[in-house]
Amino acid sequence: MNDTLPTLNWLIEAGADEAIAEQPVNRLTAKASVTPLQAPAPPRPAPARAPVALPAALARAGAAIDMDGDAIGNAQAAATAANSLPELKAALEAFEGCALKRTATNMVFADGVAEGRIMLIGEAPGRDEDRSGKPFVGRAGHLLDKMLASIALDRKTNAYITNVISWRPPDNRDPTPEEAAACLPFLRRHIELAQPKIIILLGAVAARHVVGISDGIMKLRGRWLEYRVGDVMVPLMPTLHPAYLLRQPTHKKLAWHDLQAVRDKMKILGLPEQVAGTGNAG
């Protein structure tokens, strides 16, 4: 027993400071009786929802993960299941995959008459739109109404207005790629269900997300592009956002040039100036 303490101290200094078997083994006996190792315990089941690692390319494209898994996949499934504009609005109201919903007052879906076949797409709701639940109702909205009236368009009779983003970003900042990616499946389905004959994009952010072109709006505006809806290519006109025109009123002449091109295209397509028997889609 006198040698026990020095031996233990030596073992500790050598790093042998823990047992490695369930039962102690006396290795000083001539024929040690080794207790067979017990069968290892079965591995613990993995959590039902393991963290999802996104590929770098997908993350850059604006992928987002919500509490139920893939926010973009959920958005795509919900949007595809909608067979009418009211169903799409209900699906968007129930959607939890965009963080902006938690800071916004109201979801902003659309305003106007989809049957008019002239669809305008802006960026995101502002403060006034967040309060009212309708797009373009503030100062920029009043200017937009005047712009539309100049070519015989009106949201009460033959124009339909929506946004890329359905909830207001805090402080009116630009939407992040993740926020836009979560909303885009609903916008694409919105366009399919509205079946526009002409699409007008208001501002660079709308152009970037709808047609995937990152050029500045001053370079894009005034040029007819196309957007595929099913098997149909729909003419699409990017133009200046009314909020920009409030800051740069000298550029209203450029927007007027774009609107004249829209008016001419309406005549070519035989679109009526008013649509009878339709209501407001707010």
Domain membership of residue 133 as a residue range: 65-269
Domain assignment present for residue 55? The answer is: no
Measured distance CA(129)–CA(110) in Å, rounded: 11
Q: Which amino acid is at 176?
A: T
Domain assignment present for residue 164? The answer is: yes
- Among candidates 259, 253, 252, which has minimal Cα distance to 238? 259
Q: Are 108 and 130 in contact (CB under 8 A)?
A: yes
Domain assignment present for residue 130? The answer is: yes
Provide the CATH number for the domain around residue 246: 3.40.470.10
Encode pLDDT of 26-72 as tens digits. 555 544 444 444 444 555 544 443 333 333 333 333 333 344 458 89
Whole-number pLDDT of residue 272: 77
Residues of the chain with confidence (pLDDT) below 50:
30-40, 45-68, 277-279
Q: What pTM did the predictor assign? A: 0.74
Domain assignment present for residue 180? The answer is: yes
Domain assignment present for residue 23? The answer is: no
Distances (CA, A) of 241 to 18, 134, 267: 71, 17, 24
CB count, 10 Å around CB of 63? 19
Encode pLDDT of 190-217 as tens digits. 999 999 999 999 999 999 999 999 899 9
Which three-class secondary structure string do you get for the chain?
CCCHHHHHHHHHHCCCCCCCCCCCCCCCCCCCCCCCCCCCCCCCCCCCCCCCCCCHHHHHCCCCEECCEEHHHHHHHHHHHCCCHHHHHHHHHHCCCCHHHHCCCCCCCCEECHHHCEEEEECCCCHHHHHHCCCCCCHHHHHHHHHHHCCCCCCCCCCEEEECCCCCCHHHCCCCHHHHHHHHHHHHHHHHHHCCCEEEEECHHHHHHHHCCCCCHHHHCCCCEEEEECCEEEEEEEECCHHHHHHCHHHHHHHHHHHHHHHHHHHHHCCCCCCCCCCCCC
As for how many domains the chain has, the answer is: 1
Whole-number pLDDT of residue 277: 45
Domain assignment present for residue 57? The answer is: no
